[in-house]
């Protein structure tokens, strides 16, 4: 996976049923999946890597664009200085850490780091 600062690095979707999603994208587009527990699957062989997070909530905006930056504190401060709003503060997950933010139009994106 390319991990260049400021590039779109990962796309994350919401899903109601992860098994249905795997069957659909595997059979239609030949995507390859890796399970990460009962609520998350990652995909590859799609042109960009990404994942599906299981949700019981209504799916309004089902896509989360994930950017990469090696220093989360630095980029978080830049986002705040540019009037972005941190919607989910920095948290750890298997493989790294990330946070989510709202841009000035209200679009939610995330930034992750493996550092």
Domains within the chain, CATH numbers bracketed: 1-63 (3.10.180.10), 69-115 (3.10.180.10)
Please list the residues that pair with 64 across neighbouring strands: 12
Give the predicted TM-score (pTM) of the model: 0.75
- Position 1 scores a pLDDT of 55
pLDDT at 85 over 70: yes
Residue 91 CA to residue 86 CA, distance in Å, equals 12
pLDDT tens by residue, 55-70: 998 888 778 999 999 9
- Position 47 scores a pLDDT of 87
Work out the mean pLDDT of the chain and round it to a whole number.
91
* Cβ pair 2, 9 in contact under 8 A: yes
Q: DSSP string of 27-96?
A: HHH--EEEE-STTEEEEESSSS-EEEEE-SS--SS-EEEEEE-S-HHHHHHHHHHTT-EEEEEEEEETTE
Residue 32 CA to residue 87 CA, distance in Å, equals 30
């Amino acid at each position: 996976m390319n991990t260049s600062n400021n590039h779109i690095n990962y796309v994350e979707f919401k899903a109601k049923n992860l098994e249905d999603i795997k069957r659909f994208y595997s059979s239609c587009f030949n995507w390859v999946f890796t399970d990460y527990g009962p609520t998350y699957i990652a995909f590859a062989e799609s042109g960009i890597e990404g994942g599906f997070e299981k949700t019981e909530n209504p799916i309004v905006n089902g896509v989360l664009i994930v950017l990469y930056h090696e220093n989360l504190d630095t980029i978080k401060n830049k986002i705040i200085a540019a009037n972005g709003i941190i919607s989910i503060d920095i948290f750890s997950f298997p493989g790294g850490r990330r946070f989510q933010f709202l841009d000035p139009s209200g679009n939610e994106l995330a930034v992750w780091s493996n550092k």
